[in-house]
Amino acid sequence: MATTAINLTPRDFKGKSNPDWCAGCGDFGVLNAIQRAVAEMGFRPHDIMTVSGIGCSSNLPGYINTYGMHTLHGRSLAMATGVKMANHEMNVIVTGGDGDGYGIGGNHFTHTARRNTDLTYIVMNNQIYGLTTGQVSPTSSIGMNTKSTPFGNVEQPINPITSAIMNGATFVARAYSGDVRHMADLFQQGIRHKGFSIIDVFSPCVTFNLTNTHDFFKERVKKLEDENHDPSDWKTACEKAMLFGDTIYTGLFFQGDRPSLEDVEPVLSKGGPLATRPLELDKDDAQKIIDRMM
Amino acid sequence: MGLGTYDFALAIGGEAGQGIATPGDIMARIIVRRGLHLVTYNAYQSIVRGGHIFLTMRISDAKVQNHGDKLDLLMCLNQDTMDRHQRLMGPGTRIVYNSDTINPGTEDKGADLCGLPVSDLTDGSRNRLVQNTVGMGAIASLMGIDFSVLEESLTLRFQRRGQEMVDENVKVARAGYDYSQEHFKPFDQSPPVGEKPLAVWSGNDALAMGGAAAGVKFYAAYPMSPATGVLHWMANNARNLGIMVRQVEDEIGVANMVVGAAQAGTRSLCATSGGGFALMTEAIGAAAMMEIPVVFINVMRAGPSTGVPTKTEQGDLWQVLGASQGDFERIIVSPTDALDAFSTMAEVFNLTDKYQCPAIVISDLYISEGRYSVDPDLINMHPEIDRGALITEPSDTDGYLRYKDTESGISPRPLAGLEGYVHLVATDEHDEDSTLLSDEFTNPHKRRQMVEKRARKFDNILSDITAPVLQGPADADVTLIGWGSTRGIIAEAVDALNAEGVSTNHLQIRWMVPFHGDQIMDILSKAKRTIIVENNYSGQFARYMRSETGFAADGHIRKYDGEPFMPHHIVDGVKAQIGGETDRYVPYQEITV
């Protein structure tokens, strides 16, 4: 969290490179919403580390002015966990896509939720593999024609919201990238939340997914906030998250108050970030180790 | 090397679940407290109950560096042990066993049979572990160790579990001791008392302690034999030393987590065996591309694939040389014993911090799971720590370039979170300013610049490490070449050969990358007959030497049955080659476990 209040604007969080996304890509909205959220919260660029995997959306750390790691396909959550453990005073935001997070990185997704590590995970879910030019993804709908499923996808898609809740994530939300204000609000809540927050964002791929388009979502999305949903009610949250027909809910599905990994890890209970602690062993501690070997 | 005045080997065999570890541990403590040296090798299988476990403990008043060639005293905890190993026990040796349940086998080679009527001695105790304690009493008696010494050790071992437990164990040990005094002939020589008490550790303890002394603050692992001991040490000491230890969902997660923690600024470490290392390899390339210093330990076991999880091999050299796609710089070192493993950790962390690259420490089951005496004064828990070009203070100037193309190739890196040094690191190729070259506009000139920048870091790295040194007579007729864990075994074989009139010297190599090709060739160009000794089938190190230097040895001694070399295997191999029988000798493993 920022230690001094400085009025930075979203422009101060603009990265050195311009996004290479296709015109109309949903990811632009997500980038804008993150920049808006962190500026409004009073962060400075060095307060934040943005970590991603590989994919169109995983290019995001290059477009935002924070510390960044653009890592391996599927490994963003593992890398980010390492960063957070080494410096738990940094705000770590993880970005990526549905293939990166729910496919190749699925194991880390499960276990990061279980650990409840204090990370904010923003998934740009376009239900397709974009960077590899249009193959089926773990969130593609049944029947969807892609280059790797020319006769239609036959596999059940994963539901990121119910998966995250079942695995133990303590802040589980969904957004649509056409609504930047709503996204920015959810991102702020997710960053403030102590524990693993995931915001799954419908971020349409205008090039390779001609089914789940902006028009598709605009007609269907409804905010949970408008329906007095109780985010502590995980059962109703799961029921509402399963809907993917005429109504698709966005907003905060579930929020729990289980302690985060950092709060229950005894090594972090005192002494500041691991990365800034002295490396040398205490003389007495070292001697005790030797004594036990005698 | 010289083996002093006392050289004794004790073996205990039984099945998993029969509690071999306890008498082994109690004996080890007795020995090191007495100031004697020991090496313990435990042959076991991947089974929680059953199978055959065979613990060998070699004891000497001089530094002992391997588990040796012979057994003096065998304690059988089951019939299977008697049946397997009686044939190894010749005149002058003793076999201790529970005569209620175990019969002497048919392969009598002259050992004194020391049967203990355990039921009578323990008033019909039904505790199935009681035979171990009775047996320890007999062992103490046979070895000539005063009962008070055993009593003290049993008390220390069991006092946490109450006085009743202590009394019970002392009582039955006493019964075994007294029975043995009355009925069996002890060994002529009893263990001397050394200069000062020694400590005891395993190679995995040493690797973990070395990491802790080097300032590791983040350790992650997925359990895998024979590397799990590093995790256990770290977990036991984490809270006291302020080291975060995470058991992670898989080795992919482990490797990526340590890279992330290292990027944030901690010294970060993980350990695994070959299969887990295979899963880690992509992250090793990521560390190289992002220029993040991190250390991976690969404790080799017999492969390929799941292989023989509880057996040793030097079969992963090419795996670590080729770990991860692409053409990049890494440090690889293979420590030669437990103390070397300890010291290597601080050395290799200083190198990775200086050169901002991944490093791999290769151990194997023989080093890692063996237990060794060590002079506590040789364990430097406060080694020099040099973090290289690490920026630790904020700055108010702009224009920081993470991958600045410097003369040395080394670009200063900040602790994450410092003001003034906001930057991106990327696994895609990037320019000095971390802008990706890979996606939009690939640029051959910038690509070449960055490849050369990373490679240039290694131009002078050899000056930071020591070259291998030839041991033994310079003009010897035979030069034995080994790497990693075989050092102590080869060294003893060299002494034995010289004593027998076969003039032999020894070159042990621990740095794989960077490799002292010129220095090694200076030595080997003067050698008369060169023989490479290694624990694998295909001669992985022989092929590596050839690729680096063009050198081809005259002969080879290779062992790939899962068990480590014994010194006489190498002696026999050298003689066979001098005799012209073969240029590729494969010893026969006499002890079947």
Domain of B338, CATH number, reads 3.40.50.970
pLDDT of B15 strictly over 70? yes
Residues B210, B162 within the same domain: no
Q: What is the CATH number of the domain that holds B158?
A: 3.40.920.10
Query: For B501-544, what is each residue's pLDDT tens digit?
Result: 999 999 999 999 999 999 999 999 999 999 999 999 999 999 99
* Residue B433: closest C-alpha in chain A: A16
pLDDT of A86 strictly over 90? yes
Mean pLDDT of B240-265: 98
- Which of B358, B378, B398 is at the close of a domain? B378
Whether A23 is covered by a domain: the verdict is yes
Residue B580: count other Cβ atoms within 10 Å of its Cβ. 7
pLDDT of residue A96: 98
CB A112 within 8 A of CB A119: yes
- Residue of A82, A268, A283 with shortest CB distance to B264: A82
**C-alpha distance from B50 to closest chain A C-alpha (Å):** 30
- How high is the ipTM of this complex? 0.97
Do B214 and A279 count as a contact with CB atoms less than 8 A apart?
yes
Mean pLDDT score of chain B: 96
Query: For B53-78, what is each residue's pLDDT tens digit?
Result: 999 999 999 999 999 999 999 999 99
- Residue of A89, A110, A277 with shortest CB distance to B242: A277
Q: Does B488 touch chain A (CB under 8 A)?
A: no
Q: What is the CATH number of the domain that holds B567?
A: 3.40.50.920
Rg over CA atoms, chain A: 20
* Residue A110: closest C-alpha in chain B: B249
Residues B166, B305 within the same domain: no
Q: How confident is the model at residue B8 (pLDDT cuts 50, 70, 90)?
A: very high
Do B33 and A294 count as a contact with CB atoms less than 8 A apart?
yes
Whether B446 is covered by a domain: the verdict is no
Residues B474, B551 within the same domain: yes
pLDDT of residue B1: 41
Residues B561, B482 within the same domain: yes
Whether A201 is covered by a domain: the verdict is yes
* Residue A294: closest C-alpha in chain B: B199
**Residues of B whose CB is below 8 A from A79:** 256-257, 259-260, 263
Mean pLDDT of B445-466: 97
Q: Does B424 touch chain A (CB under 8 A)?
A: yes
Whether B192 is covered by a domain: the verdict is no
pLDDT of residue B21: 86
Task: Output the CA–CA distances (angstroms, integers) from residue A103 to A125, A210, B278, B484, in the order listed.
Answer: 12, 21, 20, 40
Distance CA A254, CA A169 (A): 9
* Structural domain span for residue B500: 466-585
Q: Which of A212-221, B18-27, B91-100, B313-322 bottoms out in mean pLDDT, i.e. has the lowest?
A: B18-27
Cα torsion B23, B27, B28, B33: sign: positive
Q: What is the pTM of this model?
A: 0.97
Whether B451 is covered by a domain: the verdict is no
Query: For A134-193, what is each residue's pLDDT tens digit?
Result: 999 999 999 999 999 999 999 999 999 999 999 999 999 999 999 999 999 999 999 999
Whether B554 is covered by a domain: the verdict is yes
- Which of B183, B209, B228 is at the close of a domain? B183
pLDDT of residue B286: 98
- Split into its structural domains, chain A has a count of 1
Q: How confident is the model at residue A215 (pLDDT cuts 50, 70, 90)?
A: very high
Distance CA B49, CA A149 (A): 49
pLDDT of residue B48: 83
Q: Does B379 touch chain A (CB under 8 A)?
A: yes
pLDDT of A3 strictly over 60? no
Q: Which of B15-24, B77-86, B173-182 bottoms out in mean pLDDT, i.e. has the lowest?
A: B15-24
Mean pLDDT of A45-66: 97
Question: Closest Cα partner for B260 from A197, A136, A177, A94?
Answer: A94
Task: Output the CA–CA distances (angstroms, integers) from residue A84 to A70, A116, B270, in the order listed.
Answer: 15, 12, 17
Residues B211, B171 within the same domain: no
Q: Does A288 touch chain B (CB under 8 A)?
A: yes
Provide the chain B residues 439-468 that lie in CB contact (below 8 A) with chain A: 439-440
Q: How confident is the model at residue A1 (pLDDT cuts 50, 70, 90)?
A: very low
Do B263 and A285 count as a contact with CB atoms less than 8 A apart?
no
pLDDT of B439 strictly over 90? no
Q: What is the CATH number of the domain that holds A69?
A: 3.40.50.970
Provide the chain A residues 19-78 that lie in CB contact (below 8 A) with chain B: 20, 44-47, 49, 51, 54, 59, 61-62, 65-72, 75, 78
Cα torsion A42, A44, A45, A46: sign: negative
Query: For B493-511, what is each residue's pLDDT tens digit?
Result: 999 999 999 999 999 999 9
**Residues of B whose CB is below 8 A from A288:** 240
**Residues of B whose CB is below 8 A from A265:** 244
**C-alpha distance from B464 to closest chain A C-alpha (Å):** 22
Query: For A97-145, what is each residue's pLDDT tens digit?
Result: 999 999 999 999 999 999 999 999 999 999 999 999 999 999 999 999 9
Residues B27, B176 within the same domain: yes
Q: Does B201 touch chain A (CB under 8 A)?
A: yes
Helix (DSSP H) and strand (DSSP E) numbers for chain B: 18, 24
pLDDT of B283 strictly over 80? yes
Residues B552, B477 within the same domain: yes
**Between these two residues, A167 and A7, which has the higher pLDDT value?**
A167
Residues B152, B207 within the same domain: no
End-to-end CA distance of chain A: 47
Mean pLDDT score of chain A: 96
* Structural domain span for residue A252: 10-269
Query: For B105-135, what is each residue's pLDDT tens digit?
Result: 889 999 999 999 999 999 988 888 899 999 9
Do A70 and B425 count as a contact with CB atoms less than 8 A apart?
yes
- Split into its structural domains, chain B has a count of 3
Residues B221, B349 within the same domain: yes
Q: Does B145 touch chain A (CB under 8 A)?
A: no
pLDDT of residue B3: 67
Mean pLDDT of B379-405: 97
